[in-house]
Chain A
Amino acid sequence: MRAIDLITTALRNLQRQKLRSILTIFAVVIGATSVTIMLALVTGAKGFFISQFSANGTLQQVAVSSKTDLTKFNDNSGGGNSCDSCVKLSDDLVNKIKALPHVTGVARRLSAGAFEAIIYNGTPKLSLNQIVGYDANGILTNTMLVGRDISSNDTTGVVTVTSDYADKWGFKGHYGDLIGQPVQLLSRTWYQGVGAVITPPSNQPGDHNGPRAGTSTTLTATVVGVSDATSQSASVRAPLAWVRQMNEQQMYQQTDADRQAQQAECQGSHGPCNPQPHFTLVVTDMLATNGYDALTAKAATPANAAAVAASIRKLGVGAADAESFIQAQLQIFNIISLVLGGIGGIALAVAAIGVVNTMVMAILERTREIGVMRACGATRATIRRLFTIEAGLLGCLGGVVGVAAGYGLTYVANILINRQLLAGSVQAKNIIGLPLWLIAAVIGATTIIGMLAGLYPAFRAARLNPVEALRYE
């Protein structure tokens, strides 16, 4: 029997028991739909993450921290003076990293935590966690919606803000109007950095040599750009040099010259001398004490990132590439895929049992017909093929309908996700993909499952004795 005749005969046989065939196919549909959605979700999510990371060069980045046990790529909490025994992230270390093979550059990152609020044009102040500065050498970038990012020409007085600030200031939908506008950065009372007004100590006992309690400093900056709040953009970014100045400590100290001047006042005095204490405002760059918060090295290619991380770790600091971070992000999708895969797997197993049942029933009903076919010259192999193809068609049709249902559901899901992405100003759409290979794989798999489930009934049909089959009532 020719293949085309086997298939048309098998299809006609399935049509004879429409309800039974539909019910059997329905079970396959449930399994195929679950598996389709699962695979579409996982491949779509992975593709989305990897494309996002590839687009901004994250796959080439290696995070460097003074924490030697750094495992998380996006852990910026290390550094500073939180770890006395740690190796400081100094410029000396930066130069050593730059000298390593496959390293094309290093971005230094520093944050100023002494600011509590950001104010625009007298609007209520919005809380501010920290002001972030990093080298504008293209290794770390903000995802800009309008305006420009901080550049290497900027030194002080400019910031970029994320769109959530712009939204709260009433610029939603016209972020461009915020560009060039001044904003105030309001410090905490203990701020001693650039711009802080430090009062000289008086002669009163117990007077301290820093700023007086209750006084905040306001720095004014011009907004040069609005960045994407949903990406990994810094919430308020300022030039690295300016952030370094914000971390300075200004305080009045008595220098040797002050002491000499004080002693000079009493020279020639024979009675008790009570000279005015002399103080000088000393500015200390805290970078030498604390180092940078974090460094980000850039590897020549994403493939080099792991090797670069390993060689940086040999310098006594922690280093991690983006791979581990991506894996962590994909964990949730792996869990979803396991759940859906489990449902799909169980549904497909039940469907396979349904196919076996349907085909065994078909053999009982068509025993005499099998006898007639054998009398007319059908070989055992022909009977076996016919029943295997019938079972395979049940699986195939279930797969086709399941993929169609999966396509419909992913289409709806994409519409919903696109809305969310648009609301968050993310430049991506239709992240759940249904590639051609996936469609072919699901239909192919359900067809094979159907054929495997049909093997036992098919062998049973082929083994029937033609004489007994013809006598079967």
Chain B
Amino acid sequence: MSVSVELNHVTRTYRMGDETLHALDDVSLTITPGEFIAITGPSGSGKSTLANIIGGLDMPDSGSVTVDGLNLAQAHDRQLSAYRNQAIGFVFQSFNLQPNATALENVMLPLTLARMHAGPRRARAKECLEAVGLGERLRHRPTELSGGQRQRVAIARALANKPSIIIADEPTGNLDSERGGEIMKVLKRLNADGITLIIITHDLTVAAMADRILHIKDGRLTERTK
């Protein structure tokens, strides 16, 4: 599935006591299928809010977010959940794996939520772990894996339901440069296979790999051409 994402005049504000924080301020953006986009900006600038709104985890206060004809701003919980399950794969800085579950069980989570039967579910999870080079680590728990391996399990989980978009929030943030480089290689390969890749990063080397770099400051989006 290849889908384009369109944001029109998206605004998102948070109230911090008496203060109103503009996380996104009239942001408009189009992402075409198969693109590799890096979102950069200082801490608290609204990078994660933008990624969460594209990923259907957060809702804009105003404006529209249209993905393959579905306006996320007006979608119901069931539609948004299906969208996150089928079209989006999230990769987090701190991996967010279930510590007491094996690598295989972690990758099976989105497949279980998609009501897939046990046999095919196991086979697909194994396939995803093999794709990220962890075919020998299926029964290992996160505590038995290195940081780079954990992030690869997280990528395998994001891949499980064959999403069209992967949103990675600082995927190399907790890794040394060598492991970070390996992770970026995996993500680049997925992008080369046609998956839209949206990476939030402080790392300019990572950003430099993207087709487009979007910079956010105080909720305002500026595009930097490479």
Assembly CA distance A378 to B90 (angstroms): 13
B interface footprint on A13-33 (CB within 8 Å = 1, 0 otherwise): 000100000000000000000
Interface: A368 (CB within 8 A): yes
Contact indicator B57/A466 (Cβ below 8 Å): yes
Is A467's CB under 8 angstroms from B100's CB?
Answer: no
Q: Which of B34-42, B109-117, B137-145, B209-217 contacts A (4 or more CB under 8 A)?
A: B109-117
The CA of A368 and the CA of B94, in the complex, are separated in Å by 11
Contact A372 B98 (CB under 8 A): yes
Find B115's partner among A1, A9, A368, A467 (CB 8 Å cutoff). Answer: A1
B83-129 contacts to A, CB under 8 A, are 84-86, 90, 92, 96, 98, 100, 109-110, 112-115
Closest residue to B90 on the A side, CB-wise? A375
Which of these, A9, A380, A467, contacts B58 with CB under 8 Å?
A467
Complex Cα spacing A373 to B110, Å: 8
A167 at the interface (CB under 8 A from B): no
Q: Which chain A residues numbered 73 to 110 have a C-beta less than 8 Å away from chain B?
A: none
Q: Does B55 contact A (CB under 8 A)?
A: yes
A369-B98, A382-B113, A470-B96 known; A377-B86 Cβ under 8 A:
yes
A1 contact set on B, CB distance < 8 A: 112-113, 115
With both beta carbons as reference points, the residue of chain A lying nearest to B89 in the complex is identified as: A376
CB pair B96 A378 closer than 8 Å: no
Minimum CB–CB distance from B98 to chain A (whole Å) comes to: 6
List of B residues within 8 angstroms of A199 by Cβ: none
Is A374 located at the chain interface by the 8 A CB criterion? yes
Chain B hits for A327, CB < 8 A: none
Q: Is A289 on the interface with B (CB-CB < 8 A)?
A: no
A379 at the interface (CB under 8 A from B): yes
Residues of B contacting A371 in the complex (Cβ-Cβ under 8 angstroms): 96
Closest chain A CB from B185 CB (angstroms):
24
Interface size class of B (residues with CB under 8 A): 20 to 34
With A1-B115, A369-B98, A470-B92 as known contacts, state yes or no: A376 contacts B52, CB within 8 Å: no
**CB of A2 within 8 Å of the partner chain:** yes
Q: How far is the CA of A1 from the CA of B114 in the complex (A)?
A: 6
Contacts of B100 in A (CB 8 A): 16
Which residues A337-391 have CB closer than 8 A to chain B?
A: 368-369, 371-382
Contact partners of A376 in chain B: CB under 8 A: 84-85, 90, 109-110, 113, 157
A373–B109 CB distance below 8 A: yes
Query: Which B residues touch A9, using CB under 8 A?
Result: 112
What 0/1 pattern do residues 156 to 191 of A give for CB contact below 8 A with B?
000000000000000000000000000000000000
Q: How far is the CB of A375 from chain B (nearest CB, A)?
A: 5
Q: Which residues of B contact A372 (CB under 8 A)?
A: 96, 98, 109
Is A5 in the interface zone, CB < 8 Å from B? yes
| B58, B98, B100, B114 — most chain A CB neighbours (10 Å) | B98
Nearest Cβ on chain B to A17's Cβ, whole angstroms: 10
On chain B, the residues within 8 Å of A467 by CB distance are 52, 57-58
Grouping DSSP codes into helix (H, G, I), strand (E, B) and loop, the A interface class, with mixed when no group exceeds half, is helix
Q: Which of B25-33, B74-82, B188-196 contacts A (4 or more CB under 8 A)?
A: B74-82
Interface string of A439-450 (1 = CB under 8 A from B): 000000000000
A389 to B82 Cα, complex, angstroms: 22
Q: Which residues of A contact B109 (CB under 8 A)?
A: 372-373, 376
A89 CB, nearest partner CB in chain B, Å? 79
> Once bound together, how far apart are the Cα atoms of A58 and B90, in whole Å?
77
State the CA gap A377–B113 with chains docked (Å): 7
Q: Chain B residues with Cβ under 8 A from A373's Cβ?
A: 109, 113
Contacts of B110 in A (CB 8 A): 376-377
CA distance A242 to B155 in the complex (A): 103
CB-based contact B84/A375 at 8 Å? yes
Contacts of B58 in A (CB 8 A): 466-467
Contacts of A379 in B (CB 8 A): 77-78, 81
Q: Given A1-B115, A377-B114, A467-B52, are A368 and B96 also a contact pair (CB < 8 Å)?
A: yes
Closest to A9 in B: B112
A381, B92: Cα distance in complex, Å: 24
User: Within the complex, what minimum Cβ distance (angstroms) separates A381 from chain B?
Assistant: 8
Given A1-B112, A467-B58, A470-B92, do A378 and B81 touch, yes or no (CB 8 Å)?
yes
Interface residues of B (CB under 8 A from A): 52, 55, 57-58, 77-78, 81-82, 84-86, 90, 92, 96, 98, 100, 109-110, 112-115, 157, 161
Nearest 10 pairs between A and B by C-beta? A377-B85, A379-B81, A376-B110, A377-B113, A377-B84, A375-B90, A372-B96, A466-B57, A5-B112, A377-B81
27 A-B interface contacts by CB (under 8 A): A1-B113, A1-B115, A2-B115, A16-B100, A368-B96, A369-B98, A372-B96, A373-B109, A374-B81, A375-B57, A375-B84, A376-B84, A376-B85, A376-B110, A377-B81, A377-B82, A377-B110, A377-B161, A378-B81, A379-B77, A379-B78, A380-B77, A381-B77, A381-B78, A466-B58, A467-B57, A470-B57
Other than the known A379-B78, A467-B57, A470-B96, what 13 A-B pairs have Cβ atoms closer than 8 Å? Answer: A2-B112, A369-B98, A371-B96, A372-B96, A374-B81, A375-B84, A376-B85, A376-B113, A376-B157, A377-B81, A377-B113, A378-B113, A470-B57
